A and B are shown apart, each in its own frame.
Chain A
């Protein structure tokens, strides 16, 4: 347990220091969402209708930002060698790194989402639905992203490949996340059904992601 706690604390510290990914993700999220009303113009009903989708897309891109460095820095400075040699199972180490990534990039997005939701004319019910879906859905984004980060680890400019690998895999999360978030504004739609599927997607990625990422890392390091 000490080893995993050490990884978690270290990654969170690095993310929150200067040049870390935590603040960048939130700022990127804010900038992208702020740009949307400028691009669409002051059409309040339109903003309200597409608001949840915009916020979900921005959250998806923001959580990808710090992902490409997740294993790459450890590979470049030799830490990954020692991690692979260690007594802690690689799957759990990967999961701890994923948790650290979610706590430093996913969680801040969820906290700031209601604030930027105001920019898109979301009402209280829509805000609540949005925060709930992000809370449940962003772990799925992180843990699916882990797989891409592990595959791209040995590439110098792995960021682009990461996006190409990860974005298609996040389509189901996006569909059901936006569907559930929209349920609050578009009345006849049920909230429970897409939300339950979103929970299932998140749980499945929590279970599969660390194993797939660890397998990819072992393969890459050969």
Chain B
């Protein structure tokens, strides 16, 4: 499986976020998307899953399911954790597992894998930022999808949780998955490729207030 972008451009709020971006990621590879704040890392991930319209260029996925779009074969872990405070930890995970199409998933073992099994019945409102992030990572494990798009996945995690995430990512790669991660810090595993967005952005004038 191979995801490639050719001459990709994204246009938001009347300005070019990035233009003429080309990259390719294959199964078992990690693409680290780096760049300063506002460089367009998040926009790139959102463009890939179709949440932002592609202004120019194209994305192709070779070796995927031709019946499904790229977004339907991808997991997107954004800045927000997509959790409902009124529902318990297990209910939140069960909902996403069912909605994303896994059917009645084995949520118990997934919660063990992210270290939240003891608090499965606790309402998500009481979780810390790191626990919320771990719960949304659990979604990636409950439903198998080959492409993981991670936006600052380690930002709220402590050292032990970062190690655990690195282990989960390694397992995903050995199963033939691919990972695109927007990141400032270390991911905890060697990136096969790196995409520096700053160089590309030099074409368009930068405005610092737009969030990445």
* B79, closest chain A residue (CB): A78
Contact digits for B32-48, partner A, Cβ 8 Å, 1 yes 0 no: 00000000000000100
Q: Which among B74, B80, B91 is the interface contact of A13 at CB below 8 angstroms?
A: B91
How far is it, in angstroms, between the C-alpha of A6 and the C-alpha of B95 when the chains are bound? 6
Whether A6 and B98, one on each chain, are in contact in the complex, defined by CB atoms closer than 8 angstroms, is: yes
- What number of B residues sit within 8 Å (CB to CB) of A? 28
Indicate if A88 sits at the interface (CB-CB under 8 A): yes
- If A2-B101, A5-B98, A14-B87 touch, whether A85 touches B82 (CB-CB below 8 Å) is no
Q: Which among B82, B86, B99 is the interface contact of A14 at CB below 8 angstroms?
A: B86
Residues of B within 8 Å of A14, CB to CB, are: 84, 86-87
Instruction: Give the interface SS of chain B, mostly helix, strand, loop or mixed.
Output: loop
- If A85-B49, A85-B74 touch, whether A2 touches B79 (CB-CB below 8 Å) is no
Contacts between the two chains (Cβ within 8 Å), count = 77
Indicate if A20 sits at the interface (CB-CB under 8 A): yes
How far is it, in angstroms, between the C-alpha of A9 and the C-alpha of B46 when the chains are bound? 28
Whether A86 and B79, one on each chain, are in contact in the complex, defined by CB atoms closer than 8 angstroms, is: no
Residues of B within 8 Å of A18, CB to CB, are: 86
Most buried by B among A13, A79, A82, A84: A82
Whether B101 and A78, one on each chain, are in contact in the complex, defined by CB atoms closer than 8 angstroms, is: no
Indicate if B96 sits at the interface (CB-CB under 8 A): yes
How far is it, in angstroms, between the C-alpha of A73 and the C-alpha of B81 when the chains are bound? 12
Residues of B within 8 Å of A82, CB to CB, are: 76, 82, 96, 99-100
Residues of A within 8 Å of B72, CB to CB, are: 85-87
Q: Which among A13, A17, A78, A222 is the interface contact of B52 at CB below 8 angstroms?
A: A222
* B86, closest chain A residue (CB): A17
Contact digits for B55-82, partner A, Cβ 8 Å, 1 yes 0 no: 0000000000000100110101011111
Indicate if B193 sits at the interface (CB-CB under 8 A): no
Residues of B within 8 Å of A87, CB to CB, are: 68, 72, 100-101
